[in-house]
Amino acid sequence: MMMKTLLPMNTVKCRRLLWAMIVIAIFVCAISAQNPSPNMMSPARLSLMPIPASVQLQPGRLQITSGFTVATKNFADDRLRAAIARMLRRLEGRTVLTLPADLSNDEAAATLVIQCERAGETIPSLNENESYSLEINDKQARLVAPTVVGALRGLETFLQMLQGDRDGFFMPAIRINDQPRFPWRGLLIDVGRHYEPMEVLKRNLDAMAAVKLNVFHWHLSEDQGFRVESKKFPKLTGLGSDGLFYTQDQVREIIAYARDRGIRVMPEFDIPGHSTSWLVAYPELGSAPGPYKIERGAGIFEPALDPTREQTYKFLDTFLGEMAGLFPDDYLHIGGDENEGKQWDRNPQIQVFMKEKGIKDNHALQAYFNQRILKILQKHHKKMIGWDEILHPDLPTDAVIQSWRGPASLAEAAKKGYNGILSAGYYIDLILPAAEHYQADPIPANTSLSAEEAKHVLGGEATMWGEWVSSETIDSRIWPRTAAIAERLWSPRNINDIEDMYRRLSVISRQLEELGLTHEKNYEMMLRRLAASENSAPLRTLASIIEPVKQYRRYQQRPQTMLSPLTGLVDAARPDSETARRFNAHVNSFLADAPRFALNRSELERTLAEWQTASRALGPMIDQSPALQEARPLANDLSVIATAGLEAMSYLSSGDAPTMEWRQAQLARLDEAAKPKAALEFVVMSSLRKLVIAAGELPQLHSMTPAEWNKRVTMMASPPAAKP
Amino acid sequence: MMMKTLLPMNTVKCRRLLWAMIVIAIFVCAISAQNPSPNMMSPARLSLMPIPASVQLQPGRLQITSGFTVATKNFADDRLRAAIARMLRRLEGRTVLTLPADLSNDEAAATLVIQCERAGETIPSLNENESYSLEINDKQARLVAPTVVGALRGLETFLQMLQGDRDGFFMPAIRINDQPRFPWRGLLIDVGRHYEPMEVLKRNLDAMAAVKLNVFHWHLSEDQGFRVESKKFPKLTGLGSDGLFYTQDQVREIIAYARDRGIRVMPEFDIPGHSTSWLVAYPELGSAPGPYKIERGAGIFEPALDPTREQTYKFLDTFLGEMAGLFPDDYLHIGGDENEGKQWDRNPQIQVFMKEKGIKDNHALQAYFNQRILKILQKHHKKMIGWDEILHPDLPTDAVIQSWRGPASLAEAAKKGYNGILSAGYYIDLILPAAEHYQADPIPANTSLSAEEAKHVLGGEATMWGEWVSSETIDSRIWPRTAAIAERLWSPRNINDIEDMYRRLSVISRQLEELGLTHEKNYEMMLRRLAASENSAPLRTLASIIEPVKQYRRYQQRPQTMLSPLTGLVDAARPDSETARRFNAHVNSFLADAPRFALNRSELERTLAEWQTASRALGPMIDQSPALQEARPLANDLSVIATAGLEAMSYLSSGDAPTMEWRQAQLARLDEAAKPKAALEFVVMSSLRKLVIAAGELPQLHSMTPAEWNKRVTMMASPPAAKP
């Protein structure tokens, strides 16, 4: 049962005692709620994500029937009414109940009363008050928020409260007081490398709102494409976009859509590097003569704007002025990352300029550039934000740092007085499990920052870099893992039970589908296409325990261009396999059940036999479907894995130890199977190694406790180079 | 193997002999190709849909590799180049090959050469030449078409030729000559009752193009909503649309999108009935004083325009003039259906008008109205088309009749000189199997029409009426069944092998997914939501053998409004269950295997046992998910069905006949289970009755041949009232 009562601790020192008292008081209440009295109706498990700052379950439940009505109190505007209508549609979708479409005028009788005081910021901003409280009892739910944005956040919590049993739909009685830990909780979507259609952005904005993210960081220009219409410089998209860009009307549509959901839209125009697509259109801005072609590869490229010519600043003044008018957000992101300055090194004019001005290196030259840009942005009433690299002694402290380097680098900046947000740890394109992202904290428990300094850490952003995502696959790379990051940025620091996070993530993932997200449904579709058959079951079995290789190894192992199809098995396979997680947990419990080895035995044997069967069925399937030919070695590995597992379990069950030869042979085969193929890797290998080693170590079980024996097996099973 | 050589026979009489000779000659070639010589590489089964007019397989195959290139010859325009780019993207998606993005200049070396002569009609029209020929040999594919539209049709055939085996992707060598049987092959989408977002229309236009449909009939106004912006009468959408409508820019976007795919866009504004939403905005046009409210129910409603007032015609002149400018198609559909004239009967002014003008009944009054509208349309250079009801002695023959009554009514109109299209038989909202639609023919073999008269039959249209479809479910109501209708309208009349149609339909259905169609993927998603669990397997088992009730019984059995959620089990379940079709076929072969009863036995027993297991698992699932409570009786029926089947099979296998009591009890239970619940019905019931009766009839098997016995069982198993 989720029963956390937590308040943020990074408040001013003089209030600490008061806070501590409140925390203790509420904690006592929470404990008592955790052990409900017998006459309290037992509530189903809550699956809130992010977990609110304070949650107290109460006795009782509110039935949700077709008589469900909503009333507003004190303040309501179009944004609130539209949000209520959306909430009703989702509630109807889940319950299959036809609910009254009109708001009720009878506050006393309404099922849900929403009490707001004001609209909130006209343009969504960092200063927004997003707090709310939600109280549900037998008769009514009451959502109270100072602003409409707080009410939007509360409506999402409200929807997450829905439960069902034989007596119908209901919400457990509860008291929630909630506000975010950080004011900046973002998702970057890189539409430069692969363009994403409007509906992809819209459904992801819906999903962001569902998990209370509030900044859409729109990475709009890259070496591989310039994606926003400029009326001043139409060649930017005319020559630099392959015709794939957003018109200014579409930009306004996205901004309005995001605002309706309490989400800021911050544009990024990455300069001076990452700018090939600009130079295709305007080579005169470049640091080398050109001509330039839209980049089709992945990596870091040389083209960079020429920071020594006034023409560059004149262009950027006009362009950024136009964009400042288009994007109402306070911030404009100038990128600033990964410019290695090779073009600068080779340009004699630039070298002369540096000498004349006493600019000692490329980093200093970029700092000079940044200061010029800062002035332009200030002129257009925008605050500047950029990646780690923009940090330089000459950078004024009103610039904001987005850190891909880590909390330490962020803390260092904070101590110098810079505001910052964390993205290191939230790079969802690296295909890491949600648990890893979940443990990255913008202000870790062991932070060296004072409370005052910590205020400079505004939050964080998940980054969906676009090298290997299409409109078909992007949802599966963002969700559900980003919901765990959203919780890290919203919920108190000490909400960090990974197992419970995964339990809730699975529920939330399903709910995201009602917003049109395709992370689940495109998986099956892609497997059907690859199988060239509607019976994709054996392929699904394989795909369920493999993942794309991590970090940036995909490109090394399976190079493609930005024009390549993203429809291979590596694209269908998803990060953070739930099947593998469950299998690994079962193996652990099975081994912990030594020397009986009964727990989960039949389930594990069934699973391994299913892998064996699937491996056999994959051969003929691959024969018919050349798109799967690269997966043939994986199909063979699946058989190796299944055989090793079944044989090991047979030894363990019988209590007879295998020979050393068997053990060595199996481990050698598993090592081969563990090597990535087609940029995919099995994520059950450590469990298989454990089973084989456990079988081999059976004789030792007589001379030590099962716990000692298990520890020994686990240690022996960890391959030398791998992380635990 | 698909090896049909067929030419349309409805040509002028003097040419018949020539045709007959050609047909015979080609048929001989086809027969020889059907029995390929041993040195001809055996081609995989073709899955073309619609089947071309003439297909001749050849020895050899063209490999499809990453070196695939396309060259154009004689004529190419932007539309053709865009179509080639789309084709390449789909080919890449299926093959996971990165193909060159640019056209080749080397005609001799290109893998595919496309030779066109001209652009085709500027505005897609009935006069379009859609013919093409496609020749594929070991070295090259050559697509020849007089117009770009013909080339578009040929490119779809080309994509359907793709096959794969151990040696990679390839296309079998072939010669295809193709042209449509009918020039009007449409799909009506009713966006009046439920609005459909732009992306739904776009992906359906893509799917239409994939199966060579060429008319998007856009049913834009209904009692329940007015869906297109009028700048002359903004209140039409301002008050009559709930804010759900297409702007004129969006209309132009759809028209351009359709034109790019060789598809006409014909708007329908249904008058004088079906006009409540107009009258919400402009009650002064109505035949009763109003005020009017947007209709939320399903059915036939009374509101109708007042045909006796000049104001009505003035309004329509302005409105239809505006729409005539917006929609470039030659035709404008005025509906004209289902006006029962009840408002007219009750309006004294209208009664006086009729008396004065000598108009004897409401049908005549509507004819008067239609003639006035016809003049308005002629003034705006549009041809008029309407439903059956507009047919009246006073109607000029340049009006076109869309028949919901049937081929006989269409033939009658054709004899009077009216052009017509068939929709009877193609009402896909009735949830009938594809086989039924497939057998409906605009000009049946037994037609009474002369060849000259038959030319008045222009084709047909599938009609997706919108009462019970949302953007989540509409694809599953249109596809894949509409592909079978598309084949009926394109391919020669004697292409009518139902089993082979279903074989190909299953392949085409999967290919449609690459266009973003959701008929497959939303099924699983909706079941997950209903199950409130990612393990929806037992629910999927149930859903796979039930279908929504047919015809218009859904509303009677499970009334809802247009504002109700369409997320219930009846919405997730789909027409034309493939699982049931397979089960029924297996039962037939099993019984035909009398007295051995071995064929398919283990498969049938496994299936029935799986139903039993699913039935047990559904109980707890329904307990947790109140949205499934209406499905509880179906879960119980599933157990009844499985038990009856397993017991019957056990008797048949053992050769021991059951008692008469057992037989009567099982049949009574099956009769109960056969009754629809939650507007859903099992579609395996006749097979179950067969099994039970077969068990009961075991003793008769000694005294007759298995064939006689099977006939007896089948006859006894047909419930008295049911169709065979």
Size of interface A-B (CB pairs under 8 A): 119
For residue A40, name the pLDDT band (cuts at 50, 70, 90): very low
CB contact under 8 A, B164 and A564: no
Partners of B169 in the beta sheet? B64, B164
Averaged pLDDT, B91-117: 97
Chain A residues in contact with B514 by the CB 8 A cut-off are 529
CB contact under 8 A, B626 and A165: yes
CB contact under 8 A, B565 and A98: yes
Averaged pLDDT, A216-242: 98
Listing DSSP states for A632-686 in one string gives HHHHHHHHHHHHHHHHHHHHHHHTPPPPHHHHHHHHHHHHHHHS-BTTEEES-HH
Partners of B147 in the beta sheet? B118
pLDDT at res. B533: 86
What single-letter DSSP state applies at residue B50? S
Write out pLDDT tens, residues B347-370: 999 999 999 999 999 999 999 999
pLDDT at res. A267: 98
C-alpha to C-alpha distance for B548 and B429, rounded to whole angstroms: 11
pLDDT at res. A720: 58
Exposure on the CB side of residue A78, measured as CA atoms within 13 A: 5
Strands A70-74 and A112-118: what pairing? parallel
C-alpha to C-alpha distance for B294 and B303, rounded to whole angstroms: 11
CB contact under 8 A, B565 and A92: yes
**Is the Cβ–Cβ distance between B304 and B272 less than 8 Å?**
yes
Q: Which of A525, A624, A627 is nearest residue B95 as measured by Cβ atoms? A: A627
Mean pLDDT of chain A: 93
Total H helices, total E strands in chain B = 27, 19
Write out pLDDT tens, residues A108-141: 999 999 999 999 999 999 999 999 999 999 999 9
Neighbours of A106 (CB within 10 A): 9
pLDDT at res. A264: 98
Sign of the CA dihedral running B346, B349, B354, B355: positive
pLDDT at res. A7: 32
**Is the Cβ–Cβ distance between A564 and A552 less than 8 Å?**
no
Write out pLDDT tens, residues B433-452: 999 999 999 999 999 999 99
* Full-model pTM: 0.93
CA distance A588 to chain B (A): 23
pLDDT at res. B24: 38
Give the DSSP H or E segment for A485.
helix A481-490
CA distance A98 to chain B (A): 5
Identify which of B349, B395, B347, B352 has the alpha carbon closest to the alpha carbon of residue B370: B395
Write out pLDDT tens, residues B648-671: 999 999 999 999 999 999 999 999
pLDDT at res. B14: 36
For residue A396, name the pLDDT band (cuts at 50, 70, 90): confident
pLDDT at res. B392: 86
For residue B113, name the pLDDT band (cuts at 50, 70, 90): very high
CA distance A620 to chain B (A): 9
Identify which of A228, A234, A268 has the alpha carbon closest to the alpha carbon of residue A248: A228
Neighbours of A298 (CB within 10 A): 20
Write out pLDDT tens, residues A366-390: 999 999 999 999 999 999 999 998 9
Write out pLDDT tens, residues A489-503: 999 999 999 999 999
Residues of B with CB under 8 A from a CB of A: 89, 92-98, 101, 164-166, 168-169, 199, 506, 509-510, 513-514, 518, 520-522, 524-525, 528-530, 532-534, 560-561, 563-565, 567-568, 623-627, 629
C-alpha to C-alpha distance for B669 and A246, rounded to whole angstroms: 61
For helices B198-210 and B148-160, angle between their N-to-C axes, nearest 10 degrees: 80
Encode B703-712: b = buried (16+ Cβ within 10 Å), e = exposed: eeeeeebbeb
Q: Which of A165, A509, A521 is nearest residue B521 as measured by Cβ atoms? A: A521
Averaged pLDDT, B424-429: 97
Mean pLDDT of chain B: 93
C-alpha to C-alpha distance for B256 and B147, rounded to whole angstroms: 18
pLDDT at res. A45: 77
Reduced to 3 DSSP states, what percent helix, strand and coil does chain A have, rounded to the nearest 5?
45, 15, 40
The reply to whether omega before B676 is within 30° of 0 (cis) is: no
Catalytic residue list of B: 338
Write out pLDDT tens, residues A78-105: 999 999 999 999 999 999 999 998 999 9
Write out pLDDT tens, residues B245-273: 999 999 999 999 999 999 999 999 999 99
**Is the Cβ–Cβ distance between A418 and A399 less than 8 Å?**
yes
Averaged pLDDT, B122-129: 96
pLDDT at res. A389: 87
pLDDT at res. A24: 38
C-alpha to C-alpha distance for B44 and A626, rounded to whole angstroms: 14
Q: Using DSSP, state whether B302 is helix, strand or coil.
A: coil
Encode B115-139: b = buried (16+ Cβ within 10 Å), e = exposed: bbbeebbeebebebbbbbbbbbbee
Write out pLDDT tens, residues B389-424: 898 887 888 889 999 999 999 999 999 999 999 999
Encode B296-310: b = buried (16+ Cβ within 10 Å), e = exposed: eebeebbbbbbbbbe
